[in-house]
Homo-oligomer: A and B are copies of this chain.
């Protein structure tokens, strides 16, 4: 697969790494609004810088990976649809639900192969949890709980255009909840506070939030997020069922313990997503490649992106109007 990478920023670099480590994918071009960024990445990975128009016009390019800023995603998705390129798009599709839905429709009509970059679906630990659920290790799932905290809040200027904590951050947890619950959400209620940084309240956002959802069969799901955890990336999932409980715990670099007068000390959790989800990024790309090759649906689709955004929108409304949102 000859793939062009659109976007040479922080997440673009992560993908470039995965692309170059993948035996069947070639990094055919790097595109970025900032020529210098593109140049640096292209040089590092022995690729070439190209303009976005050329990429979409080039019949030798099989696929594009959209890792540019969120506001550009819809435009590039539509171009990919028009050009018949397979596409792996970073989340979120857009901050606007209606536009995202239209974009998903365009992709569907075009028939191009399209995956959404919900990296956590490809994490080995969550995969093992999903499999344990499916194989009945804990009987009927009753309560699913997510803890999801970043080590530190993003810069203030990013926050203003982020779409808010639910669309920017909790969208990952909404997607994981949908993936693991595997049935429609019935109700949603959100609660939030600004405890980390008053600057976040100034842009009308919260930095600490809890969402509680129910599914149509009555399962409960809680998501607890924060923009700041001083000890690192706090990423845990707990699935409680009639026959037991599964806990996906934070991962550490090594298993070294230090026992001293203060107690028995294990390492802190891995610092952030680059460390914690390194393997997930590789798995995500591989799933994109394999599903394209085999003509099957990828693990996360553009529709999954739309549905996660629908939940994020509902959470924002629930928080603002202090009400329970009821679906269908």
Which A residues lie at the B interface, using CB under 8 A?
21, 124-125, 128-129, 132, 137-140, 142-143, 145, 149, 187, 189, 191-196, 208-210, 212, 214, 218-220, 222, 224, 226, 228-231, 234, 240, 242-269, 322-324
Contact = CB atoms under 8 A, between A and B. Distances in A.
Contacts of A224: 143, 145, 220, 222
Contacts of A268: 259-264
Q: Which residue of A128, A243, A257 has the most chain B CB atoms within 10 A of its CB atom? A: A257
Number of copies of chain A assembled together: 4
Nearest to A246: B258
Given A196-B242, A244-B259, A262-B268, A222 B220 contact: no
Given A191-B212, A249-B256, A264-B266, 14 more contacts: A128-B253, A138-B258, A142-B226, A143-B208, A192-B220, A196-B242, A222-B222, A226-B240, A230-B244, A230-B261, A231-B245, A231-B259, A246-B258, A250-B255
B212 A193 contact: no
Given A196-B242, A208-B142, A240-B229, A128 B214 contact: no
Contact of A244 (B129, B212, B258): B258
A264 B267 contact: yes
Given A245-B231, A253-B124, A191 B189 contact: yes
A234 B21 CA distance: 31
Contacts of A142: 193, 195-196, 208, 226
A251 to B, nearest CB: 5
